[in-house]
Structure 1
């Protein structure tokens, strides 16, 4: 019994850390449960990665959605920003100008040379991106898809 408790305590911090940001993580678990929301898919993805040890392999080999660029990224700032500014961001994107749209461009690190194209894209695809302002996750997913569909702006999609 003591061994089981010790194993649980040792693995808890790793599991808790991985579950906190499963959306942006890599490994077989993140691929199998990709697009699913909630605690259960995150825990299952982390468990899959931990059980098979594939996340380490993915990082060292550059497979399973992992990169070898040495950059640890998190999209939580973008998600938090969208969540706190959904309505105003939708209005700014519809008009093609405004503080929240400028702040989003800055948060995504849109180059000055690409900012006009970014603003144009969000205005032109406003109805698609902001189909519902109830969920920041859905807005972020549709914004990411819109950016990915534009060759010039696709490089900013990873920050969403």
Structure 2
């Protein structure tokens, strides 16, 4: 009995850590069943639903259950970490509308070459809004979301 309890706790801890990393994804039955619900419990249930039924793997492979085959894996935590660690350089480059830190941010966010110039000019034009306070990532997300061509990149922040 003790081994079963320990195994259950280890499984729950592993599931919780996956949920905390937002591994639910945006597709699969679990993400649809628990859409709009927040919290660790709902994320664990969504991950468990996708994992036990194998539907997310199938959905990604065949483009079903709200999954796509574009091959893009986004990570909002990388973007947020980069922004937090490079605030001063980003502010300098954003004000100029060009620079290494702005290019790296575009790389981290997966901005396509065709969108790079618009990305940089949009950040420059909205410098006061983006760097208005310590919530740079949230501010940048709002600015990008307001631009029809760049709105898709707001999801990786």
Do both share a fold (TM > 0.5)?
A: yes
Structure 1 spans left out of the alignment, 5+ residues:
34-40
Shift of residue 127, structure 1, vs aligned partner: 1.5
C-alpha RMSD over aligned residues: 3.0
Structure 2 counterpart SS, 1:151: coil
- The CA distance in 2 between the partners of 1:107 and 1:116, in whole Å, is 16
Does residue 158 of the first structure (1) align with residue 146 of the second (2)? no
Aligned match of 1:80:
81
Q: Tell me, yes or no, if the aligned pair for 1:129 and 1:143 is still in contact at 8 Å.
A: yes
What is the deviation of 1:82?
0.6
Distance change (3 Å), C-alpha of 1:155 and 1:45: same
Could you tell me which residue of structure 2 aligns to residue 37 of structure 1? none
Change in Cα spacing, 1:106 to 1:72, as seen in structure 2 (3 Å) is closer
Question: Distance between the aligned counterparts of 1:47 and 1:107, measured in 2?
Answer: 27
Distance 1:9 1:106, change over 3 A: closer
Determine the structure 2 residue equivalent to 1:92.
93
CA distance in 2, matches of 1:148, 1:24: 22
Q: 1:107: Cα distance to partner? A: 2.2
Offset, 1:77: 2.1
User: Corresponding residue for 1:46?
Assistant: 43
| 1:72 CA displacement | 4.0
Give the 3-state SS of the residue equivalent to 1:32 in structure 2.
coil
1:75-124 Cα offsets, whole Å, 9 max, x none, are 23212211110122122212222221122122223233322211111011
SS in structure 1 opposite 2:98? coil
SS at match of 2:36: helix
1:62 aligns with 2:65: yes
Deviations 1:20-70 (A, max 9, x none): x1287443657222xxxxxxx4x344345368x37869845635xxx3436
Partner SS for 1:31: coil
Please, which runs of 5 or more residues in structure 2 have no aligned partner?
Answer: none
Q: Comparing 53-62 with 139-148, which one deviates more in the overlay?
A: 53-62
* Structure 2 match to 1:146: 143
The TM-score with structure 1 as length reference comes to 0.69
